[in-house]
Amino acid sequence: MATIDVPEQVSVLADAEALRKACKGWGTDEKAIISVLGHRNAVQRKQIRLAYEDLYQEDLIKRLESELSGDFEKAVYRWILDPADRDAVLANVAIKKLSPDHHVIVEISCTRSPEELLAVRRAYQARYKHSLEEDVAAHTKGDTRKLLVALVSAFRFDGEEIDTRVANSEAKILHETVKDKEFNHEEIIRILSTRSKMQLMATFNRYRDDHGTTITKNLEGDSGDEFLKTLRPTIRCLNDPKKYFEKVLRNSIRRVGTDEDALTRVIVTRAEKDLKDVKELYYKRNSVPLDQAVAKDTTGDYKALLLTLLGKED
């Protein structure tokens, strides 16, 4: 369930005016920006951008980029974009890093629905004049490349049908691969990147039933080669995305010095999806509400925006 709090009646014209007022003159009224944008869903945010452009012949996003700075600016920028466009930007940032953030590519390709992933691929082409898969391929090597390209290229069947025979045989293959550390990369890539999500759930369940432990438990640890480091988040995202997001949040806050990129990314991309469930998981795991943990670890306008997106009352 979503966490953002959107009012019943919204006037995008009034919103555009309010944002203009917040940006005009000396300094910026960040609180006003948060109080408008932090309470609007994707469709409304898009309409506000159009209304703003109409009224003031200016791109709202560019205006905000020039007025704001730091983590707050990054968060607002990501929040205001269309979800598909946002994912395209996140993917590109992840790819272009000197040491690419494979887990972000995995996260985007494995937690979005098949149609959403297609929209990301289109948005990516529109923005960067390259296909997502070609950029991923050009910046990665070896089996990691094969896995990532396959994941971003997937257009999974989105039906409920599952084949128990296949679940059985593929659970076996996964077990041999994971337990014996003998990585038959071709097979594991094939299974994880082509099967439907429902089919994979059946396979993971079969794995758990056959071996008394979940596949993610068998993959525990942080070490291993690059392929393994990309494989883990892949299986986690496909097996239980909410649990995966809880872990990313937990790690981003716990670190000495918060990992703002990860924190922003998860909150911004899940606020309209399942952040509520992730919050519950967080509380169960850490005995501290997520709002509290975020408030303790962040400051200023950045903190205020995150808390608004988390559904905290003003």
* Least distance to other proteins, CB of residue 201, Å: 15
| Nearest residue to 263 via CA among 290, 232, 223 | 290
156 labelled binding-site residue = no
Nearest CB to other proteins, comparing residues 194 and 218: 194
Instruction: Output Rg (C-alpha) for the chain, integer angstroms.
Output: 21
Binding mask 195-234 for other proteins (x = CB under 8 A): xx--------------------------------------
Is position 159 an interface residue for other proteins (rule: CB under 8 A)? yes
Q: How far apart are CA 228 and CA 57, in angstroms?
A: 50
* Secondary structure (DSSP) of 180-243: T----HHHHHHHHHHS-HHHHHHHHHHHHHHHSS-HHHHT-SS-S-HHHHHHHHHHHHHH-HHH
Choose the stretch contacting other proteins; rule: CB under 8 A; options: 19-27, 154-162, 227-235, 258-266: 154-162
Q: What is the DSSP letter of 272?
A: T
Please report whether residue 28 would count as binding other proteins according to CB under 8 A. no
75 contacts 113 by C-beta, under 8 angstroms: no
> In which residue are the tokens 């525990």 written?
220
Beta carbon of residue 180, minimum distance to other proteins (angstroms, whole number): 22
- Site stretch for other proteins (CB under 8 A), options 51-59, 73-81, 84-92, 159-167: 159-167
Contact residues for other proteins (CB under 8 A)?
118, 121-122, 125, 129-134, 137-138, 142, 145-146, 149-150, 153-159, 161, 166, 186, 190, 193-196
